[in-house]
Structure 1
Amino acid sequence: MFLEEQGIHCPYCGEYQTVFIDPSDVEEESYIQDCQVCCRPIHFHLTEEFDGSVSLSTSHENDS
């Protein structure tokens, strides 16, 4: 398993943090993970791009 390092800003507290994603597991397109700083639930959404790369977006837990 190859993990890819991504930098994000928490949608709640705004703190920058590094997370690791598994680009080979895009089938599990979204998941919840707690912020490493404020411990609030961040919604992660993975999308496979046309060139095969993986895009990561984050939002509040209750945002669609």
Structure 2
Amino acid sequence: MKEIYIQCPYCLQAISIFLEYKNFGFQTKIDNCKFCKKPIEVSYIVENNEIKTYSYNSIEENVKSI
């Protein structure tokens, strides 16, 4: 499990989200902002037991990539 830090696309607060990486390849997770409680979708790629890249977005808005 890895903790990532992002900015909520709705309320713009800094939050952390925990991602699991038991499997390899492309994965997604939906988690709620701890402040405004709106859903955030996080997509990420796991290779060699590491999260190589991730992106996140609100359910309605454009993607923000890291």
Corresponding residue for residue 56 of structure 1:
54
Aligned-residue Cα RMSD (Å) equals: 2.2
More helix by share: 1
Q: Higher relative contact order at CA 8 Å, sep ≥6: structure 1 or structure 2? A: 1
Distance in 2 separating the partners of 1:34 and 1:27: 23
Aligned sequence identity (%): 23
Q: Which has the higher strand share?
A: 2
| 1:26 to 1:45, Cα distance in 2 relative to 1, 3 A | farther
Per-residue deviation, 1:4: 0.8
One-letter amino acid of the structure 2 residue matched with residue 30 of structure 1: T
Q: Structure 2 residue aligned with 1:35, among 33, 36, 43? A: 33
How many equivalent pairs are there? 60
Unmatched tracts of structure 2, length 5 or more: none
Q: Is the 8 A contact 2:2 2:19 kept in 1?
A: yes
Give structure 1 stretches of 5+ with no counterpart. none
Contact 1:29 1:46 in 2 (8 A): yes
